[in-house]
Amino acid sequence: MANKPRIRKALSVGEKAETARTKIEVRKKSSKLSKFGSRLLKAGFLSRVIRILVFIFWPLKKILSWLVPRYFINSWREVRQVTWPTRIETRRLTLAVLIFAIVFGSLVAGVDKILDEVFKKVILK
């Protein structure tokens, strides 16, 4: 059997943005982790501390879950799942919206001016 040529699917814009974001996050995490922090992680010290803190604050979490309405808890979960755009994407999209608003506004103003002239000639004649 002859080998079939591999066809690579082109990445969508969302997939490209996601891979770029993950690369940036990996770089940030690796640069923030100091030698001391990496030694603590290897020793398992931080995991023990986290377990102790979870054990201590677990009753507080239960009490807060009873006091805070379900709507806010679900809203916070949804906000954490959002994939936020980068600064460059935000600037690009903002520029696109501004250009669209200017073009659309000028079209509406042009049509308004034309209709104004037509009605003045037809009705006020």
| Domain assignment present for 96 | yes
| Domain assignment present for 35 | no
Print burial letters for 53-76: b (CB count within 10 Å at least 16), e (below 16): eeeeeeeeeeeeeeeeeeeeeeee
Q: What are phi and psi of 107, to 5 degrees?
A: -65, -45
pLDDT digits (tens, 9 = 90+) for 52-110: 887 888 787 777 777 777 888 888 889 889 888 999 999 999 999 999 999 999 999 99
Contact 87, 21 (CB under 8 A): no
| Domain assignment present for 109 | yes
| Domain assignment present for 12 | no
Q: Could you tell me which residue, 107 or 32, shows the higher pLDDT?
A: 107
| Domain assignment present for 20 | no
| Domain assignment present for 49 | no
Nearest to 28 by CA among 77, 86, 71, 72: 86
| Domain assignment present for 103 | yes
The domain of 101 spans 86-125
CA distances from 48 to 22, 41, 104 (A): 28, 10, 59
Q: How many domains does the chain have?
A: 1
For the whole model, what pTM was predicted? 0.39
| Domain assignment present for 40 | no
